[in-house]
Amino acid sequence: MLKFALKNMLTKKVKMILIILSIVISASVAILAYNVAEQVNDGLVNTTSTYDTIVGPAGSSTQLAMNTLFFTDKPPGTISYEYVEKLESDDRVNVVIPFAMGDSYNSSKIVGTKPAFLDGKPLKDGEMFGDVYEAVVGSSVARKYGLSIGDELVTSHGLSENGEKHTANPLKLVGILEETNTAYDNAVFTDIETVWEVHEHHEDEGHDEGHDEHEDGSSEDADAPSSHTFEGEDEEHEEHEEHAEEGTVCAILLKCRTLAYAEEIKKEFASDSNILTITPAEVIREIISNVDLSRKIVYLLCIIILIMNVFVISTVTILNMYDSQKDIALMRLIGIGTGKVNILFLIQNAVIGLISTAISFGVSRLVLSLMSDFVASMGIVLDASKIYPFEWLIMAVVFVISVLPTLICTLHISRKDIIRN
């Protein structure tokens, strides 16, 4: 019966392909939407549970949270390192971690901090950075660029990989982190003093080059300002704001002894118009609420598509069975009962359902793999191998949807005497 069903399917390739495509598109979207939404939600929740307070320059609370926790966007600005020293002497605070960002290694952001920032992130190879110009990289960075312990990392000025190369001050790779499936996999970590020194050398080199040009007489007259000069100054100023100069940081991450102490510290900094203090869990909760809304919209669209598939499959099945009336009549004449005929079509659509769900699952994993590099720049890590139980339920529903119309149609047609017609 199975062999006959497969032969029957091959005689109607176009119809079978159309049915499979309609199922695959809707099922892939449903599986992918659920998986991405859950991984994003898990990543947000797991990351925000580490710190209870973040201190940074005045600006957007969302930008501050996303920059320090997920290494996305540009830092909103800088604040003096004196705030770090002040908080380190505060008995209400257990852990004080400075955070600075400003350069990149290819497409990966470089984070200047202290080793405590990587507590809970085990090393796969090597050791933790402990000196200036030493670096530890995330698993994805090491894998993507084929890095190993002892390699030198030539960084770029600014957060773009197209920035000027710091060839004179490469970082030495001393450690590689275990895979965490978080934004840490896509970043490079070094001591905060490394960030300061790299920028200091960069500025010194810039001043030297400008001085040489002036001596050569190749540069424009300093007393004759031009639009080009002012434009260059503006660009330099914008680039300058992205970096943590010596004695400054982009943010400070805190672990307080109690939540009450965290609230006290927030209130104390509230009077300083240059400082913004946030509770990351509250900020991320707002982001998650937006993600949940988007997820519900996607789910609604998937349900609509699946319902449309029921009608498409039902219509194609009815047409297929009416086109096969002569074959069905012939089978009845040679003694094959209506029940077996119905089983034939059920087997046929069950095969279609199995093929469709298998392809849908494969497509969702492929898209997740393709998306991983793109969304990594936004601080989101997608693991194509991660499967949630609800995904199996979605595939089971898709299989039922592919078979149910056939069952209804065969039961309806079995009531009619096809031979008499």
3-state secondary structure of 235: helix
Q: Are 284 and 48 spatial neighbours (Cβ–Cβ below 8 Å)?
A: yes
User: Token pair of 416, please?
Assistant: 């009619």
Cα 384 from chain centre? 11
Residue 408 Cα distances to 280, 343, 386, 388, angstroms? 53, 12, 36, 31
User: Token pair of 37, please?
Assistant: 């939404």
How far apart CA 398 and CA 309 sit, in angstroms, is 10
Max CA-CA distance within the chain?
A: 106
No. of helices (H) and no. of strands (E), the chain: 12, 13
Query: Any residues with CB less than 8 A from the CB of 279 and at least 6 apart, and which?
Result: 52, 53, 54, 262, 266
User: Token pair of 386, please?
Assistant: 């991660």
Strands 171-177 and 123-126: antiparallel
Alpha helices in 116-226 (DSSP H): 139-145, 192-216
3-state secondary structure of 174: strand
Give me the residue label for tokens 């982001």: 287
182 C-beta neighbours (distance < 10 Å), count: 21
Residue 410: exposure state from Cβ atoms within 10 A (0-12, 13-18, ≥19): buried
Looking at residue 80, its pLDDT comes to: 92
Which parts of the chain register pLDDT below 50?
207-242, 417-421
Give me the residue label for tokens 């920032």: 117
How far apart CA 7 and CA 333 sit, in angstroms, is 20
User: Token pair of 40, please?
Assistant: 């994003």
Residue 98 dihedral angles phi and psi, to the nearest 5°? -75, 150
